[in-house]
Amino acid sequence: MITIRAFSAAAIAAVVTLALSAPNAAANPRSTRDSVAPTFEQLQQKALREGRIRVIARARQNANDGMLVRAATAQQRARRFAQTHRKHPLREFRRDALQVYSLTADELASFADSGEFEFIVEDALNAPSLLESVPGIGGDVAHNTAVTGNGVAVAILDTGVDANHINFGGRVVEEACFSSTYASHSATTLCPGGADEQFGPGAAAPCANDCYHGTHVASIAAGNDNTVTGVAPDTDIIAVQVFSRFNDPGLCGSNDPNGCVLAYDSDILAGMQYVAALTSTYTVAAVNLSLGGGYYSSPCDGSFHKGTMDYLASLGVATVASSGNSGYSDGIGSPACISTAIAVGAVADTQDNVQNFSNSASFLDVLAPGTPITAALPNGGYGTLSGTSMAAPHVAGAIALIRSAAPGMSVSQIRSLLLNESVSVLDTRNGLTFPRIDLAQVMSTLGEGDAPEITILAPGNDTEINSGGSPVALSAIASDPQDGDLSHAVTWTSDIDGAVTSPAPLSVGLHTLTAQVTNLAGLSTQATVNVTILSAVDSDADGVPDASDNCPDIANPAQGDYDEDGIGDYCDPTPGC
């Protein structure tokens, strides 16, 4: 489990309303600061104490800018402002208009007052924090049915992965490193080449000390040899190093000569966006985040991580996060507290007892084995570790198996399947009952049941529609005996326009519209209709579009055609012949 240091928890909890309008130049500076940086006083005090502070800032977007360039234009304005203070972003996230800066206390005040930023929070540090399986969740049943995760990948954002370990059998298909060097924290990159970013074979190699965590996590999710069989033993692995080496006793909490490894939130975010880009090459089932910290008694959807998690979900990638090891019975850590993430708590490997260290709250999603778990360690070794860090990759591996067996399922459907086909476990500390993943039940559901039925109600087959430029209503009903009404899960595609939703602004031409529905067992059914969308142009303004007007240049609303030759009487030189 990776724990956010206490000094940064308040910053990450900041929930800021995003405003697209230009700032009010006459606003009270203190009011502006509080709205842009709700924890401004704490941030400024830390900057004064340490000389500077590392922050993540979202550039303020303007509604007058075009939608497609709004984020880029906002970043350009923010960058120009920063240059007036001789500051340059340490890292940028262009899709989300986020920038990372190192600021003094005075610079922080100027940035907060500038009107160029919507919010500013600390770029928080995360630290590996451990308390020192597969048959229990039905994984062997899945393997016996030949469901082993073949054809999909899981991404492990952690302390690197030993790609040469026999446990992975050459299945580490991509490696990357996002690891910041930052002198103010005595932080140096762990990317093997010495840069803050690195890509390709060896980029996510674990460091010599303290970097065993990621290899162990990856082994739980997707290991496969005679010693350890992971949950999804044939799944590919995308390994991403997101940690840096720190030699500051105040940050590490000890005087260990090797220092410690910590990760900036911005490096973790960079890793998540890297994985999103890989979805055009791989079927990525899940991103595993065995990291987090802080205390949240309700969902923390104000976190800047949520936008990227939502984007990953739209690409079919689930985000799995450990709930934390602080022993809370009424709160969990971040980023597990984000509603998009699948938050995972820990039970014992062979008994369904919620572990006292495992954070728990009403919005915890699922439980999985977290102690004691034996898996691979760097340099060809194996070891036993405990924590919610170990529970999360059980769920990531389970999602890989489901994605492999039922590629048509959405992230929300996979989440529902995991939670519904499970074993109920009582957390005696708070009296709450949670689902513990059970792949035997999941595989049984995937392998049984009837395919859904679907009927398209509108538009009708072989119809012509004079849309007049207006969107076309699409309607279908779907159901199956197991899940009941599935009409809400129907998706639509056009062979001309691609994926569409109702009402759909369809292009002019002959469309084959396909309605598809996938049930919780992963079974899909389709129905199609052919629809012709006629031109909305009406040159003679007679109420009949040119595409179907028998005399498009002369108004003839009645469409008279005495000799039935397809030419309207007003345009026909021989209307009676």
386 labelled catalytic: no
Catalytic, out of 266, 322, 389, 494? 389
- Which residue stretches of 187-262 are H helix? 213-222, 249-252
Nearest to 154 by CA among 359, 397, 450, 352: 397
> Are the CB atoms for 262 and 187 separated by under 8 Å?
yes
Q: How far apart are CA 237 and CA 235, in angstroms?
A: 7
Write the CB contacts of 161 (distance below 8 Å, at least 6 apart in sequence).
168, 172, 175, 204, 206, 214, 215, 218, 237, 239
Q: What are all long-range contacts of 62-65, with beta carbons under 8 Å and residues at least 24 apart?
A: 62/20, 62/21, 62/22, 63/20, 63/21, 64/22
213 labelled catalytic: yes
389 labelled catalytic: yes
The phi, psi pair for 98, rounded to 5°, reads: -105, 145
Q: At what angle do helices 213-222 and 388-405 cross, to 10 degrees?
A: 40
Burial of 346 (0-12, 13-18, 19+ CB in 10 A): buried
Catalytic, out of 143, 165, 213, 216? 213
The phi, psi pair for 30, rounded to 5°, reads: -65, -40
Q: Which two tokens stand for residue 535?
A: 């031109």
Give me the half-sphere count of Cα atoms (radius 13 Å) on the Cβ side of residue 231.
Answer: 33
Active site residues: 158, 213, 389
